[in-house]
């Protein structure tokens, strides 16, 4: 199968040009100003942008929260939504539960994805039960193509590791070419604030944000970077949400620390004013870290444009309104998480590129190229270049659409961005050379996605 995409504005992280793109089978064969090759299919991209498919490096698909609640999207519905939104690779978080080996956890998540994912996928590993055995297992996972490990400084008694175990894991990662991803909030401080708030009868969704202040994030970011420096390791700060935490990233880099920072569209496009919605409406926005004051948003945008923030992912972890309602009368029982896998690219383009905050090249960098480089997928992913996988999106930069739960493809009954208009839409999406989205409709095949073994030692 040969596909020729003609007359598009091809954008990579390193530059843009008018060019045709020839796809042969699963890979890009040529990119040139004018290609006259024969093709089975021709896509006219006149007036359109041709970009590498997005890479969402932070998702939680089919993730059990407890015995009764699991995130709403599985690997089929979640990757269909991703593809319609212009994302052609997801890196999901496999979760080790107490008493499990890392290998068992990986096999569980492989079964969840195999035969269901419609685009390519990879895994990080959440380490919640660190031991001597687990420390050795990290080596095996790096060899199996899962070289990134997520640790938590939050959620004591469930996911949180103490500083000693975090330090040991960082040492091991430095030795084996792995990368530590860190959820950075001070869990002990947050627990004290939560107990005090509930004892005072403060139970609404807004109190979720008040008990997870920016300082608790900034302290944990500072501590995580310091531990990584001591271990000689790199650290990837997930879902950075505040100007205070960003300041710690900048200070660490100024000292020479190897630190990568990720933020999410919700921290760029929403604010803590959402928690003032009546009744349990504010529960829609309960996530961790929480939404921050609007005054800090512009600092994140400036940091994203300047390279202080490196990537934009989603932390896609949706729960239904009925599940969110479990926290009526006690904000600490509201399942933490929100949908975003389908809207990431359009929100960032509309609020970033169209408003002059990001160049097209920077947009590609933070949504595709840098995630590919950081997590051992480049240049197979993250570039419109000969030899790369033909993961391509033909974007219509002038088409306006309205975000709504009534029309999105995520399996959740609300949208945090309900009624928001964005001007850009993914017209044609290819995953390894196969058209999977056309005219806003999924036309791919369930189970077509492949597991991606990733390289360790990315040199961060």
Per-residue pLDDT reduced to its tens digit, 207-238: 999 999 999 999 999 999 999 999 999 999 99
Residue pair 382/52 in contact by the 8 Å Cβ criterion: yes
Q: Which residue has the higher pLDDT, 66 or 16?
A: 16
Question: How many Å apart are CA 333 and CA 233, to the nearest integer?
Answer: 35
Q: Taking CA 323 as the corner, what is the angle to CA 317 and CA 327, rounded to the nearest 5 degrees?
A: 105
- Tell me what the mean pLDDT of segment 438-444 comes to: 97
pLDDT for the residue 67: 83
d(CA 343, CA 409): 10
Alpha helix stretches (DSSP H) within 350-427:
360-364, 370-374
**Strands of 254-322, DSSP E:** 259-263, 311-312
pLDDT at 456: 83
Q: Residue 113: is its pLDDT beyond 60?
A: yes
Q: pTM (2 decimals)? A: 0.98
Characterize 232-241 residue by residue with b for buried, 16 or more Cβ atoms within 10 angstroms of its Cβ, and e for exposed.
ebbbbbbbbb
Q: What is the pLDDT of residues 333-352, one digit of tens each?
A: 999 999 999 999 999 999 99
Q: Rounded to an integer, what distance in angstroms lies between the CA atom of residue 365 and that of residue 352?
A: 13
CA nearest to 1, candidates 22, 25, 20, 21: 25
Q: Which domains does the chain have, with CATH numbers?
A: 1-50 (2.30.40.10), 53-374 (3.20.20.140)
């Amino acid at each position: 199968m040969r596909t020729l995409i003609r007359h598009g504005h091809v954008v990579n992280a390193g530059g843009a040009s008018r060019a045709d793109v020839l796809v042969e089978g699963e890979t890009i064969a040529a990119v040139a100003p004018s290609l006259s090759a024969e093709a089975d299919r021709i896509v006219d991209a006149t007036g359109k942008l041709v970009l590498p498919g997005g890479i969402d490096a932070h998702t939680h698909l089919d993730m059990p929260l407890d015995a009764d609640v699991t995130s709403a999207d599985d690997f089929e519905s979640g990757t269909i939504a991703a593809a319609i939104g212009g994302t052609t690779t997801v890196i999901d978080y496999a979760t080790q539960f107490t008493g499990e080996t890392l290998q068992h956890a990986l096999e569980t998540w492989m079964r969840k994805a195999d035969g269901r994912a419609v685009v390519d996928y990879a895994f990080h590993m959440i380490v919640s039960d660190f031991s001597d055995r687990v420390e050795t297992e990290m080596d095996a996972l790096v060899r199996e193509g899962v070289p990134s490990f997520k640790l938590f400084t939050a959620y004591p008694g469930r996911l949180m590791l103490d500083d000693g175990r975090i330090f040991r894991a960082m040492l091991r990662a430095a030795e084996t070419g792995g990368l530590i991803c860190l959820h950075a909030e001070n869990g002990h401080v947050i627990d004290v604030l939560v107990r005090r708030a509930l004892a005072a009868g403060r139970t609404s969704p807004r109190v979720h944000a008040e008990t997870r202040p920016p300082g608790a994030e900034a302290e944990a970011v500072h501590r995580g970077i310091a531990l990584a420096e001591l271990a000689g390791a790199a650290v990837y700060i997930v879902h950075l949400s505040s100007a205070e935490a960003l300041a710690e990233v900048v200070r660490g880099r100024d000292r020479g620390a190897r630190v990568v920072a990720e933020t999410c569209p919700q921290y760029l496009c929403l604010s803590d004013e959402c928690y003032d919605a009546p009744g349990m409406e504010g529960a829609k926005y309960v996530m961790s870290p929480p939404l921050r004051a609007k005054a800090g948003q512009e600092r994140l945008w400036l940091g994203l444009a300047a390279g202080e923030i490196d990537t934009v992912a989603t932390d896609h972890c949706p729960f239904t309104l009925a599940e969110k309602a479990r926290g009526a009368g006690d904000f600490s029982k509201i399942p933490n998480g929100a949908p975003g896998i389908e809207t990431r690219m359009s929100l960032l383009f509309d609020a970033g590129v169209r408003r002059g905050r990001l160049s097209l090249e920077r947009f590609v960098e933070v949504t595709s190229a840098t995630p590919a480089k950081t997590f051992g997928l480049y240049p197979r992913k993250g570039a419109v270049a000969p030899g790369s996988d033909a993961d391509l999106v033909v974007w219509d930069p002038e088409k306006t659409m309205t975000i709504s739960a009534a029309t999105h493809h995520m399996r959740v009954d609300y949208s945090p961005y309900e009624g928001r208009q964005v001007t850009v839409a993914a017209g044609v999406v290819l995953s390894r050379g196969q058209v999977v989205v056309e005219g806003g409709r999924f036309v791919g095949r369930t189970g077509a996605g492949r597991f991606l073994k990733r390289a360790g030692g990315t040199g961060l």
